[in-house]
Structure 1
Amino acid sequence: MAETRLYIARHGKTMFNTIGRVQGWCDTPLTTIGETGIRELGLGLKEAGLEFKVAVSSDLGRTVQTITIAQRELGILGKIPYYQDKRIREWCFGSFEGMYDAELFSGVLPRISGVVDANTMTFEEIANGVHEADSANWSEPWEVLKERIFNGFERIAKDLEKQGGGNALVVSHGMTIATLVNLLEPERPTNLALDNGSITVLRYENEQFSIEAVGDMSYRQTGARLLEGYEK
């Protein structure tokens, strides 16, 4: 049986990413720069000789757009199974969706939690703070959020393992990927800098995940060089 690995990409840069607005379950499309970044990612993954048995994204438009571009550059679009799993969606920020990041993380959360800087808060404190303040009551408390995220990625790995292992190309979201990493290695800082198009690699063996890379930008960097060469 081949080893089972998840190559988890953060989606390409979107309109809301660019202007610093909270983007959880609300959605904006990739910008032209964001699309180019994912072309780079796909080309870099192909150059590395990686082969994928399955492709999985969340059901939000920005991850669907991302995985389509990446698969096209890899030459595997329509050639391997692809499905969506809403469990690997971004956090839901409820009534704070679309708010400027600074308003939420430097204004609302510190006021609720009595802290000076939300960057010092744990994911549990952030999730429960948002949930407490969410007038729409759409956001998820920490216990629900962490179970959703972990179960989503675990199911992808288990299904792949049952098929004999191999690599899965997965596209998810910044805070979702950072939460998964924190659940697996709580000693890591929660303010991970996961760039758009970065890759986090998890190995799955004996019903356990191990982290092999977090926020790896080398595939995009390789792809950028290739893309520049193609366009000359």
Structure 2
Amino acid sequence: MATRLFIARHGKTMFNTVGRAQGWSDTPLTEEGERGIRELGRGLREAEIEFQSAYTSDLGRTILTLDIILEEMKRPRLPHTRDKRIREWCFGSMDGGYDVDLFHGILPRIFNRSHKELSYKEMANGIYEADTAGWAETWEQLSGRIINGFTSIAQQIEAGGGGDVLIVSHGMTIGTFLSLIDPNYEKTTYIANGSVTQVTFDDGKFTVDTIGDLSYREKGAELIAQETH
């Protein structure tokens, strides 16, 4: 049986809403964010995917997201594990600051280029250089923990006979993972809150199936609307 990773981005949070860099800092899901994840959970239930287990990062926004998904899927007892390797980037002393200051100010000044033109490696090195607190990770540390985290999860599922696993992680972490397993990946598809990126693991190799898929959320929203009228 193939091993498939369904990687959801957590629901929209307070910092997401006001445009603050939310790395290792954490804020709760907003009412809109919780609603979007209820839609996702309902859509996944309708799709009848038989998840073997679930994983989140160790940050509260992913844990709450999974709780809501499992409630909507009516699978509260699905085994789930927290793995800090799939947590978000650390923005160091800029964590919690405004996105515009980091991505449109600090990084462009370091490289004299728009942040959209920068690779993940360049962005990580820029953040590491600009961090005055000494908290940010080097690219080697960051990329190493992310690829190790997702690979370890995939290997565990494969060793148990394969199947589907649900993972809740973070926008830049998911994008970094995609860039590490697919050299042709470009940061063109926005990984929205509540979207699902699907990856297949077979014979030690990852294949990207879909990126930032919102169809589960859209179907769930449609079903919830029908059920409440």
TM-score, normalised on structure 1? Answer: 0.97
Alignment of 1:101-180 (within 5 A): 101-115=99-113, 117-180=114-177
Pairwise CA distance, 1:191: 4.7
Partner of 1:186: 183
Pairwise CA distance, 1:141: 1.0
Q: Secondary structure at the match of 2:51?
A: coil
Partner of 1:8: 7
Partner of 2:228: 231
For 1:153 and 1:217, the matched residues in 2 are separated by: 21
For 1:180 and 1:210, the matched residues in 2 are separated by: 12
For 2:197 and 2:44, the matched residues in 1 are separated by: 13
Cα deviation digits, residues 21-46 of structure 1 (max 9, x gap)? 00000000100110010000011011
Alignment of 1:30-41 (within 5 A): 30-41=29-40
Partner of 1:54: 53
Pairwise CA distance, 1:188: 2.0
Cα deviation digits, residues 71-129 of structure 1 (max 9, x gap)? 11111112x211100000000001001111011011111112222x1111110000000
Partner of 1:98: 96
Percent identical across equivalent pairs?
52
Q: Secondary structure at the match of 1:193?
A: coil
For 2:86 and 2:145, the matched residues in 1 are separated by: 7
Partner of 1:18: 17
For 2:116 and 2:138, the matched residues in 1 are separated by: 19
**Contact 1:123–1:190 (Cα < 8 Å) also in 2:** no
Q: Please, which runs of 5 or more residues in structure 1 have no aligned partner?
A: none
Q: Secondary structure at the match of 2:198?
A: strand
Q: Secondary structure at the match of 1:180?
A: helix
Q: Secondary structure at the match of 2:24?
A: coil
TM-score, normalised on structure 2? Answer: 0.98
Letter in 2 for 1:158: Q
For 2:139 and 2:187, the matched residues in 1 are separated by: 14
Partner of 2:62: 63
Q: Secondary structure at the match of 1:53?
A: strand
Pairwise CA distance, 1:200: 0.4
> Where has structure 1 moved over 3 Å in runs of 4 or more?
none
Cα deviation digits, residues 33-73 of structure 1 (max 9, x gap)? 10010000011011111110101000000000000100111
For 1:154 and 1:35, the matched residues in 2 are separated by: 29
Q: Provide the aligned length of Structure 1 versus Structure 2.
A: 229
Deviates more, 1:141-150 or 1:181-190: 181-190
Partner of 1:208: 205
For 1:123 and 1:214, the matched residues in 2 are separated by: 17
